[in-house]
Amino acid sequence: MNNYELSIITLNFVILLTSYLAIYPKIAGVELNKVAFFDLFASGLALLIVGIKYGGTGQEFTLAFMQLNIQINWFWFTFISYGLLEIPIALWYFRTLLFKKK
């Protein structure tokens, strides 16, 4: 993994942690529709920042999956890595808030 991939993963991680720890609990709570709506803006922010940096450069990123090294562009790398990072954080968020609610 080069610094390019690591910088995108770090950006995604920071956006996700900020969203799920600071923003979503205050404005969305446990309502899945609200979280999904505001997550569109969070993921859009990640795509916008990475697009400004790498859009039009032709930079390829390596997506390592089950010993396959797939070369993809900035959009798909950001989109896929954001989704893969979001799954465990979202599961933790909803489990935590649903158990607090009871």
Residue-by-residue pLDDT tens, the chain, 102 positions: 678 899 999 999 999 999 999 999 999 988 889 999 999 999 999 999 999 999 999 999 988 876 778 899 999 999 999 999 999 999 999 888 777 765
pLDDT reported for residue 101: 62
Query: Which residue in the block uniquely carries the two structure tokens 């990072």?
Result: 85
Helix (H) or strand (E) holding 48, with range, is helix 32-54
Domains contained in the chain, number:
1
Give the E-state strand segments of the chain in sequence order. 61-65, 68-72
- Tell me the residue range of the domain where 69 lies: 3-101
Predicted TM-score (pTM) of this structure: 0.89
